[in-house]
Structure 1
Amino acid sequence: MTSGSQPVTIVVATFNRAEYLRRLLASIGQLEPAPAGVVVVDNASTDSTGEVLQTAAESLNVPLTVHRLPVNAGGSGGFSAGVERAIADGATWLWLMDDDVEVLPDALASFAPWLARYRCLHGRRLDHTGEPFFWQHRFNEFLGVHFPVPGNVFANSPVFQTNVACFEGVLLHADVVRTVGLPDPRFFINGDDTTYGWLISRQEPVVYIDRFVLRKARPQKQIDLGVRHLNDSSNLGRYCGMRNRGHLARYLKEHGRFNRLGFALGTVLTAGKELLRLVAVERTLSGVGSLWNGWRESRRILDDPDWAPMPALAPHESDAQ
């Protein structure tokens, strides 16, 4: 992307979704203006992802870097590795996204007017039917839970300021990453982007702009609760969601924002939401054991004397000067 001399590198984490990845890369090829490059982190896929990437390398109209991991490190590990690779290769802006979305052709043009004002921003997203997807939230430090913000958050402004990020579409300046550090790969999936956005928000604004830039390509089971959509999940997602509260608690402690009573209440609310998801969306109770095991692991993380936050990266040469 050359608009405003602000080159954007797209970072994609993928695992065994070859057809969705193909559609995403095809949509990236339609971007106007085009991105500076694409970094795809292949989380040791075992399907035809390699063939899709080889074809894209020959046909995509922008440079494509494939970074294959020896094992599946989850979305968290994939984005951590992809961001590290993109910055090492000289990226200025990094647009993170999952493999099951498609970008809208004018997405980078929609971001361009805001890049001089903000360094962590999101556009809006459509679901697979083309309807607006509700995803505006704010993080409550006392409970350690992010809550939906009801109503039209763009009623009075084209910008909605929050304190969470979403790796399915966040656009980051590389200097933000250098200051905060890489996304924490220990989360594997679930909660990594919420925590990362909160860390960024302690230093500078995190915003959503009133422009649609992505469309979800993969259908999901969901129910509309009025104030938010509740999607289906998986036993792995439930386990990680509960386990990762241990990592979140440690980050809150690092910044002097941890309240044991409030966080315990937030854990109860989190478990309750997952039980509602099981009953109302997936119509099963088979995932209860995953919630319990994740909670037990979160206790171990909370008491781990060797736990440490992700470190800041070395400053850019221009920053040092």
Structure 2
Amino acid sequence: MSPLETVAIVVVTYNRADLLERMLAGLAALERLPEAVIVVDNASTDRTPDVLAAATNPGLQVLRAEENLGGAGGFHRGVGAAYEQGFDRIWLMDDDVVPAPDCLTVLLAQDEHCLMAVREDSRGALVEKSAVRFDLANPLAIRPKTAMVETEYGHRHLMPHRVELHNVAFEGFMVRRSVIDEIGLPDPSFFIFYDDVDYALRARRAGHRIWAVRDAVLVRQLDFDQQHDLSGWKGYYMYRNLFVVHLRYGENPLVRAKPWLITAAVVLLSPLRGGRAEARNVIRAMRDARGMRAVPT
């Protein structure tokens, strides 16, 4: 790593002022401060503007959206701003994580293009859910994430110094601008869910390896809650974006056909599951995913 490399942290926030306040305090306590902290405020209606106005982080920039762009749209805008300003490394994170004081120092010691800090919860338990196996070759794997850091190692101290990842979360992912030169910005059309998976797959297809760095500690302030209502609005995005990943990156025709099979199964089972609402969601998701098959350039 060149000692002259510059770093911008990109944060996306929406109506979580208390979390954002603690997160910004954590960024201010980093032993190696970034050159910029770019916060995309997705049209928050709580006291987020007051928190940002009171923040004293060096290099703070606030980009307030006129409407909620979702996490995907927020990262597209924030990473684009950091890229246009010429920063060498861009570190992405949500408003609900706090890095250990040496986290940025540890990451910058790695001369790699794509890196991931390793998340733990407030009790110190390993909760890094980035995939170490993401199977887009097996048509029988309903969920392509078949193993993640958390399940493979159980505890941080059992991890090797670095672990290669197949996908990432935009909570602690660091990328060099040269990668953005090759693959472009995060895809805003995802809105929420799978935008980070898509970006990691694009980076790996371009020949880049992604490394989780064991000693780069990122503390998650909230527990994970992945059990979303598949008959609600989030369920639509979960289905649609999962389908997009299969259609874009499935390694054979059977894998690329999985979205249609999942759609048929959900509709058939809907009387026992989420009823008509889930069936409508998955049908709409399948229709809309077909229009997103092209990989962004």
> What TM-score, normalized by structure 2, do the two folds share?
0.84
Does the CA-based 8 Å contact 1:180-1:200 persist in structure 2?
Answer: yes
- In the alignment, the residues of structure 2 paired with residue 9 and residue 267 of structure 1 have an alpha-carbon distance, to the nearest angstrom, of 42
Which residue, 186, 190, 211 being the options, matches 2:189? 186
- In the alignment, the residues of structure 2 paired with residue 206 and residue 188 of structure 1 have an alpha-carbon distance, to the nearest angstrom, of 23
Q: Deviations over 1:82-131 (max 9, x none)?
A: 000111112110110011111111101111221x2x11111211113332
SS of equivalent residue, structure 2 residue 153: coil
Q: 1:261 to 1:105 in 2, by over 3 A?
A: closer
How far does residue 195 in structure 1 lie from its aligned partner after superposition?
Answer: 1.4
Counterpart of 1:35 in structure 2 is 34
Unaligned stretches of 5+ residues in structure 2: none
- In the alignment, the residues of structure 1 paired with residue 277 and residue 213 of structure 2 have an alpha-carbon distance, to the nearest angstrom, of 36
Q: Deviations over 1:35-94 (max 9, x none)?
A: 1110000111111111111111xx22x111111111101000000110001111121101
Counterpart of 1:80 in structure 2 is 76
How far does residue 139 in structure 1 lie from its aligned partner after superposition?
Answer: 1.5
Counterpart of 1:201 in structure 2 is 204
Does the CA-based 8 Å contact 2:22-2:98 persist in structure 1?
Answer: yes
- In the alignment, the residues of structure 2 paired with residue 163 and residue 210 of structure 1 have an alpha-carbon distance, to the nearest angstrom, of 16
Counterpart of 1:161 in structure 2 is 164
Amino acid at match of 1:66: V
How far does residue 262 in structure 1 lie from its aligned partner after superposition?
Answer: 6.1
Identical-pair percentage: 31
Counterpart of 2:115 in structure 1 is 121
Q: 1:160 to 1:47 in 2, by over 3 A?
A: same
Amino acid at match of 1:310: P
Counterpart of 2:279 in structure 1 is 292
How far does residue 288 in structure 1 lie from its aligned partner after superposition?
Answer: 6.1
Does the CA-based 8 Å contact 1:158-1:210 persist in structure 2?
Answer: yes
Q: Does 1:309 align with 2:295?
A: yes
Superposition CA RMSD, Å: 2.9
- In the alignment, the residues of structure 2 paired with residue 9 and residue 176 of structure 1 have an alpha-carbon distance, to the nearest angstrom, of 15
Q: 1:193 to 1:261 in 2, by over 3 A?
A: closer
Does the CA-based 8 Å contact 2:259-2:286 persist in structure 1?
Answer: no
Q: 1:31 to 1:267 in 2, by over 3 A?
A: farther
Counterpart of 2:91 in structure 1 is 95
Counterpart of 1:130 in structure 2 is 124
Counterpart of 1:5 in structure 2 is 4
Amino acid at match of 1:175: S
Q: Does 1:140 align with 2:141?
A: no
Q: 1:32 to 1:289 in 2, by over 3 A?
A: farther
Q: 1:55 to 1:289 in 2, by over 3 A?
A: farther
Counterpart of 2:51 in structure 1 is 52
Counterpart of 1:233 in structure 2 is 228
Q: 1:251 to 1:67 in 2, by over 3 A?
A: same
Amino acid at match of 1:195: D
Q: 1:159 to 1:252 in 2, by over 3 A?
A: same
Which residue, 199, 217, 230 being the options, matches 2:221? 217
> What TM-score, normalized by structure 1, do the two folds share?
0.78
Q: Does 1:152 align with 2:147?
A: no
